[in-house]
Amino acid sequence: MSSADLRSTCEVLEREYTEEYERCIENMLTNRKGTIVYFEEFDYEGLKMALEQLSEFERRENKKVIESNVLKGLNLEKMLNVLVNALFFMMVA
């Protein structure tokens, strides 16, 4: 995969992840009638369901990354270096 293709694929994956993440969170905070839910007391069952939804979302998104082959040929040290840099820039932004 060329550098330009890799960058393009990563940009698409990032954009899709962000859109899907926002939809996932919005769905968790919205009841079936379409209004935002405000809790009077802590809802353990609701938290469990929300975490399950978030976990399933992360599984789907990780599968997309694996199937895209953007990580093919990278070694663990390089991937960790990229991750640390990305996290740093996210914290600074």
Q: What are phi and psi of 30, to 5 degrees?
A: -115, 135
Residue type, 23: R
Q: Which residues of 64-85 are buried (b: 16+ CB within 10 A; e: fewer)?
A: eeeeeebeeeeeeeeeeeeeee
Count of Cβ atoms closer than 10 Å to residue 50 Cβ? 16
Radius of gyration, alpha carbons of the chain: 17
| pLDDT confidence band for 72 (50 / 70 / 90) | confident
**Digit-coded pLDDT (tens) for 24-69:** 888 877 765 555 566 667 778 878 888 898 999 999 999 999 999 8
Share of the chain above pLDDT 70, in %: 88
Q: Is the pLDDT of residue 93 over 70?
A: no
CA distance 43 to 73: 44
